[in-house]
C-alpha cells in the first residue's frame, strides 16, 4: 500500500514524508501494519457479550454457545454502537447543561442570546415574565438536565417535528423517553439472555439514536448557541498551513465549547500575549481540529487546523507548542508523537485522561483561571521549539463558515425580501427548491476512515452534488474537508456548482457548501428539515433531502445516521457498517425501514456511484414533492 495514496490532502502527504524521516509512526503506518482486518468483526458476527464467548459465527458454528444466531449477534452489536454514540453526544450535552446552570452576570459563562433563551423557555413552559434572565437560564438548565433521567414522558423536542412524523414515531414506539434510560435499555436488552430478535434490536437502536438527535444533541446545540452565540457567517482559513512560523501555535482538539470558548478568551489575555513576546514569539495563534475546530470557527472565525486524520500530522510540523484536548476522537497515539517533538499534549477532562499526556483538569467552576494556566503552559513552551525540525506546509484555503439555521434564513431573506424580515421564515429556501433551481438539500456529515483515502469520498460527493444543483450542508470532519478543499469559498459556486445552484449562491451571497457546525449540530439539520416540512405541511420523508456519511467511523456517526433515517431522511454510507453478517439486518436497515419510517440506508464504497444514487433518489423525491406541493 502506498502511504501517499491513503490521503488526498497534499499537506498530509508532505507531513507523512517528514514523519518517516523523523522516525514518527502515524495512523497510516499502523493501518499498513494491520494488513487484513478480522473478518468476523467486519461482518459484526463476533459476540463478546458474555464470558462464555467470544463466539464467532461460521457456517459450521451458526450459533453462539447460548444459541444466539448471527442476526441476534449483529443486531446487539449494532444497538450497542448506537448507544455508544448517543452516550457520547448526550454526555457532552449534559456538560453544556451544567455549564448553563453556572451562568451568571459576573461569572465566566454568560447569556449571549437572551431572546433565544426566552423563546426556548416559553416553549418548555417556563414562566419568563418579569424574571431575571439568569433565573430563566437556571430553570432551563434544570429542565434540560431532567431530560436525561425523567421518569415519565418523552423528549421535550418531539413536538417541533411535523405531525405526521410524530405519529410514525408513536406508532413504532421510538419516541425517546429519558436519554440515559434509552442508553440503559439498550445495554440491558443486549445483555446475555435478553433480546434475541433482530427486528426488535433495530427498533431499540432507532429509539436510542432518537435520544441522540432529538434530545441530547438538540440540548447541546441550543444551549451552546444561547451561551456562546448563534453562528453567523465568518471568514476563515483551513488546513495545516494556518500554523504560524513565528507565533505560539495552540491547537484545540475535541468537542466541548465550554472549554474552547475559555481558551480562546485566554489567548487574548494581554499578560499572556506579552509573555509570548518575551519568549520571542510574535503572538499567540490558535486553531481548531475536529469538532472543536468547527465550534470555534462557526462562532469566531478561528482557523481550522485540520480534521480527524491530521491530528498526528499537526504535531509532526514541529511547530505546535500545545495540543489541548477534551473528549472524543482524540488518538491516544498523540502522547507518543508529542514525545518526538517539543509539543505539550494536554488533556483536560477526567473522562478522557491519556497515559503520557500532561493532565491539567479544566473545571467549569474555575473556567477562566484554568484556561489561563493551560495557555500559559503552551506559551512558555515556545522557547523549546527546535526551528531546525519545523516544517509548516503551505497549503490552506479560505472559507466562509457559520451557517446556523438562523444565518441561512437571514441570508436568503436579505435578498428575496429586500428588507430583513425579523421573523424571517424558510420560505425563500422552499421557493427555490420548489421551482427546481435547487434540486434538493443534502447533509454531508461525518469522519475520516482509514478504510478509505482521507477526504476523497467527502470531496468527490460534495462536488458531484453541487454540480447537480443540490445544496450541500455539512458538519463534523466533512465540513473541515470542504473548507480545506475550497468548497466553502463563495467563488466555489461558479467553479463547481450547476447553473441553478450557482445563480442562487450568487444572488444570496453564499458558498454552495454550507458549514453548519460540529457533529452535535446535526440537530440543526433536523431543525431545517422540520422547518421546511412544517412550512409546506408535509412530512420530512416527502422532501428532496438526504444525508451522507461518506467516510464515517465513530459510534456517534452510527447514531447520527440512525436518527437521520428515523427522522425520514434517506442516509447513504461510504463505508459498510459491521452488519453484513446478518442478511436480515441488511434487509431491514437497507430496505424495510423504508416502510416503517419512510427512509433507509444505502451503502456503496465507490463515491461516484454513491453520489449518482443520491442524485437519482433526490430526483425521485422531487416527482413526489412536486405532485403534492
Ligand atoms: Fe470528526 Fe466530531 Fe467524526 Fe470525530 S466523530 S471524526 S466527524 S470529530 Ni463526530
Ligand atoms: Fe456467546 Fe451468547 Fe455469550 Fe454472545 S452472549 S458470547 S453468543 S454465549
Is residue 36 domain-resident? Answer: yes
Q: What is the CATH number of the domain that holds 79?
A: 1.20.1270.30
Q: In this structure, are 130 and 256 located in the same domain?
A: no
Q: Which of 204, 228, 252 is the last residue of a domain?
A: 228
Same domain, yes or no: 103 and 216: yes
Domain identity same for 620 and 586: yes
CB-based burial label for 270 (10 Å; 0-12, 13-18, 19+):
exposed
pLDDT of 420: 44
One domain, residues 464 and 377: no
Assess whether 191 and 259 both reside in one domain.
no
- Residue 418: predicted pLDDT: 46
Mean pLDDT of all residues belonging to the chain: 96
Is the distance from CB of 102 to CB of 365 less than 8 angstroms? Answer: yes
Give the list of residues 6+ apart from residue 231 with CB closer than 8 angstroms, or none: 225, 298, 299, 401, 402, 403, 404, 407, 517
CA distances from 360 to 52, 127, 233, 256, 326 (A): 41, 40, 33, 16, 10
- Same domain? For 151 and 89 the reply is yes
Tell me if 407 sits within 8 A of 233, measured CB to CB.
yes
Over residues 86-114, the pLDDT tens digits come to 999 999 999 999 999 999 999 999 999 99
Residue 417: what pLDDT? 53
Q: Given ligand 2 and candidates 41, 50, 70, 76, which is best to mutate, with the most ligand atoms within 8 Å of its CB?
A: 50
| Any domain includes 61 | no
Instruction: Return the minimum-mean-pLDDT range out of 315-319, 422-426, 471-475, 530-534.
Output: 422-426
| Same domain assignment for residues 484 and 337 | no
On whether both 483 and 546 belong to a single domain, the answer is yes
pLDDT tens digits for range 415-433: 655 444 445 688 889 999 9
User: What pLDDT is recorded for position 413?
Assistant: 78
Per-residue pLDDT of 305-359, as tens digits, reads: 999 999 999 999 999 999 999 999 999 999 999 999 999 999 999 999 999 999 9
CA angle 563, 566, 567 (to 5 degrees): 90
Among 201, 228, 255, identify where a domain stops.
Answer: 228
Give the CA diameter of the chain: 72
Task: Report the pLDDT value the prediction gives residue 416, as an integer from 0 to 100.
Answer: 57
Distance 447 CA to ligand 1 centre (A): 5
Q: Is the CB of 580 under 6 A from ligand 2?
A: no
Q: Ligand 1 pocket test: which of 253, 331, 447 has the largest number of ligand atoms within 8 Å of its C-beta?
A: 447
Best residue among 55, 72, 190 to mutate for probing ligand 2's pocket (most ligand atoms within 8 Å of CB) is 55
Pocket of ligand 1 (CB under 6 A): 290-291, 308, 329, 446-447, 476-477, 518-519, 554, 556-557
Nearest ligand atom owner, CA of 57: 2
Q: What percent of the chain has pLDDT over 90?
A: 95
Residues 273 and 224 in one domain: no
Please name which ligand lies nearest the alpha carbon of 561: 1
Same domain, 256 and 360: yes
Indicate whether residue 196 lines ligand 2 (CB < 6 A).
no
In ligand 2, which atom is closest to the CA atom of 64?
7
pLDDT higher than threshold 50 for residue 256: yes
261 in the same domain as 221: no
Q: Is residue 63 part of a domain?
A: no
Q: Which atom of ligand 1 is nearest to the CA of 475?
A: 7
Q: Considering the domain boundaries, does residue 534 fall inside one?
A: yes
* Chain segment 572-605, per-residue pLDDT in tens: 999 999 999 999 999 999 999 999 999 999 999 9
Residue nearest to atom 7 of ligand 2 (CA): 64
Distance CA 473, CA 515 (A): 6
What pTM does this model have?
Answer: 0.97
Look at residue 166 and tell me if it is in a domain: yes
CATH number for 313 = 3.40.50.2030
Q: Does residue 338 form part of some domain? A: yes
User: What are the pLDDT digits (tens) for 44-67?
Assistant: 999 999 999 999 999 999 999 999
The Cα-based distances of 571 to 523, 602, 624 in angstroms read 15, 6, 18
The H or E element that residue 602 is part of is strand 601-603
Mean pLDDT of 526-533: 96
- What is the rounded end-to-end Cα distance, in angstroms, of the chain? 51
> Per-residue pLDDT tens for 476-515?
999 999 999 999 999 999 999 999 999 999 999 999 999 9
Is the dihedral angle over the CA atoms 573, 576, 578, 579 positive or is it negative? Answer: positive
Q: What is the ipTM of this complex?
A: 0.95
What are the DSSP calls for 224-269, one per residue? Answer: HHHHH-----EEEEESGGGS-TTSEEEEEESS-HHHHHHHHHHTT-
- Does the bond joining 54 to the residue before it have cis omega, within 30 degrees of 0? yes
pLDDT in tens, 185-236: 999 999 999 999 999 999 999 999 999 999 999 999 999 999 999 999 999 9
CA of 193 to the centre of ligand 2 (A): 9
Measured in Å, residue 519 CA sits from the centre of ligand 1 at: 6
DSSP 377-432: HHHHGGGG--GGG-------EEEEE---HHHHHHHHHHHHSSSPPTT--SHHHHHH
Q: What pLDDT score was predicted for residue 2? A: 87
**Residue 396, in any domain of the structure:** no
- The residues facing 237 across adjacent strands are 398
Q: Which set of grid coordinates corresponds to residue 418?
A: 429586500
What spacing in Å lies between the alpha carbon of 204 and ligand 1's midpoint?
24
The residue range of the domain holding 28 is 7-56
Across residues 432-453, what is the average pLDDT? Answer: 96
Instruction: Return the ligand number nearest the Cα of 478.
Output: 1
Q: What ligand has the least distance to the C-alpha of 212?
A: 1
Distance (Å) from CA 190 to ligand 2 centroid: 10
Which residue CA neighbors atom 3 of ligand 1 most closely? Answer: 447
| CB of residue 198 inside a 6 A radius of ligand 2 | no
- pLDDT at position 205: 98
* Within-domain flag for 2: no
**375-417 tens-digit pLDDT:** 999 999 999 999 999 999 999 999 999 999 999 998 887 665 5
Q: Which ligand is nearest to the CA of 292?
A: 1
Number of domains in the chain: 4
User: Do 320 and 451 have their domain in common?
Assistant: no
Amino acid at each position: 500500500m502506498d502511504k501517499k495514496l491513503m490521503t488526498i490532502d497534499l499537506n498530509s502527504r508532505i507531513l507523512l514524508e517528514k514523519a518517516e524521516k523523523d522516525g514518527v509512526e502515524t495512523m497510516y503506518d499502523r493501518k499498513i501494519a494491520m494488513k487484513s482486518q478480522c473478518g468476523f468483526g467486519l461482518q459484526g458476527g463476533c459476540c463478546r457479550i458474555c464470558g462464555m464467548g467470544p463466539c464467532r459465527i461460521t457456517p459450521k458454528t451458526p450459533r453462539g454457545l447460548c444459541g444466539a444466531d448471527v442476526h441476534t449477534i449483529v443486531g446487539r452489536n449494532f444497538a450497542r454502537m448506537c448507544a455508544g454514540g448517543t452516550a457520547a453526544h448526550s454526555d457532552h450535552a449534559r456538560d453544556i447543561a451544567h455549564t448553563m446552570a453556572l451562568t451568571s452576570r459576573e461569572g465566566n459563562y454568560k447569556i449571549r442570546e437572551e431572546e433565544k433563551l426566552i423563546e426556548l423557555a416559553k416553549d418548555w413552559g417556563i414562566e419568563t415574565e418579569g424574571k431575571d434572565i439568569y433565573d430563566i437560564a437556571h430553570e432551563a438548565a434544570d429542565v434540560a438536565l431532567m431530560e436525561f433521567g425523567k421518569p415519565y414522558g418523552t423528549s421535550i423536542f418531539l413536538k417541533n417535528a411535523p405531525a405526521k412524523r410524530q405519529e410514525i414515531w408513536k406508532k413504532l414506539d421510538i419516541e425517546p423517553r429519558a436519554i440515559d434510560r434509552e442508553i440503559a435499555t439498550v445495554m440491558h436488552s443486549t445483555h446475555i439472555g435478553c433480546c434475541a430478535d433482530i427486528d426488535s434490536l433495530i427498533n431499540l437502536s432507532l429509539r436510542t439514536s432518537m435520544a441522540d438527535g432529538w434530545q441530547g444533541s438538540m440540548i447541546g446545540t441550543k444551549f451552546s448557541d444561547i451561551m456562546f452565540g448563534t453562528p453567523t457567517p465568518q471568514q476563515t482559513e483551513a488546513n495545516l498551513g494556518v500554523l504560524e512560523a513565528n507565533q505560539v501555535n495552540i491547537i484545540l482538539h475535541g468537542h466541548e465549547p465550554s472549554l474552547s470558548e475559555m481558551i480562546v478568551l485566554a489567548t487574548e489575555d494581554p499578560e499572556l500575549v506579552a509573555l509570548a513576546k518575551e519568549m520571542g514569539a510574535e503572538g499567540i495563534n490558535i486553531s481548531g481540529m475536529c469538532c472543536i475546530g468547527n465550534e470555534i470557527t462557526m462562532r469566531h472565525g478561528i482557523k481550522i487546523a485540520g480534521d480527524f486524520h491530521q491530528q498526528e500530522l499537526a504535531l509532526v510540523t514541529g511547530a505546535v507548542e500545545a495540543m489541548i484536548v477534551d473528549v472524543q476522537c482524540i488518538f491516544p497515539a498523540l502522547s507518543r508523537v508529542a514525545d518526538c517533538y517539543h509539543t505539550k499534549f494536554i488533556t483536560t477532562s477526567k473522562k478522557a485522561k491519556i497515559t503520557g499526556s500532561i493532565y491539567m483538569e479544566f473545571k467549569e467552576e474555575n473556567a477562566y483561571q484554568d484556561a489561563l494556566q493551560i495557555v500559559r503552559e503552551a506559551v512558555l513552551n515556545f522557547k523549546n521549539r527546535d526551528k531546525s525540525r519545523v516544517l509548516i506546509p503551505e497549503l490552506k484555503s479560505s472559507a466562509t463558515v457559520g451557517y446556523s439555521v438562523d444565518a441561512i434564513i437571514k441570508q436568503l431573506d436579505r435578498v428575496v425580501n429586500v428588507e430583513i424580515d425579523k421573523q424571517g421564515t424558510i420560505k425563500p429556501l422552499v421557493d427555490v427548491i420548489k421551482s427546481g433551481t435547487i434540486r434538493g438539500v443534502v447533509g454531508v456529515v461525518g469522519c475520516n476512515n482509514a478504510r478509505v483515502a482521507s477526504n476523497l469520498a467527502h470531496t468527490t460527493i460534495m462536488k458531484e452534488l453541487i454540480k447537480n444543483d443540490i445544496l450541500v450542508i455539512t458538519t463534523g470532519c466533512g465540513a473541515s474537508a470542504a473548507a480545506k478543499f475550497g468548497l466553502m469559498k463563495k467563488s466555489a459556486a461558479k467553479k463547481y456548482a450547476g447553473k441553478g445552484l450557482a445563480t442562487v449562491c450568487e444572488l444570496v451571497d453564499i458558498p454552495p457548501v454550507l458549514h453548519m457546525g460540529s457533529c452535535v449540530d446535526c440537530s440543526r439539520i433536523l431543525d431545517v428539515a422540520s422547518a421546511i416540512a412544517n412550512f409546506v405541511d408535509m412530512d420530512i420523508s416527502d422532501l428532496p433531502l438526504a444525508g451522507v456519511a461518506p467516510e464515517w467511523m465513530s459510534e456517534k456517526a452510527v447514531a447520527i445516521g440512525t436518527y437521520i433515517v428515523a427522522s425520514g431522511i434517506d442516509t447513504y454510507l461510504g463505508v459498510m457498517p459491521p452488519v453484513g453478517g446478518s442478511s436480515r439486518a441488511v434487509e431491514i436497515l437497507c430496505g424495510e425501514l423504508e416502510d416503517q419510517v419512510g427512509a433507509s440506508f444505502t451503502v456503496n464504497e465507490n463515491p461516484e456511484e454513491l453520489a449518482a444514487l443520491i442524485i437519482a433518489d433526490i430526483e425521485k423525491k422531487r416527482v413526489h414533492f412536486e405532485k403534492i406541493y
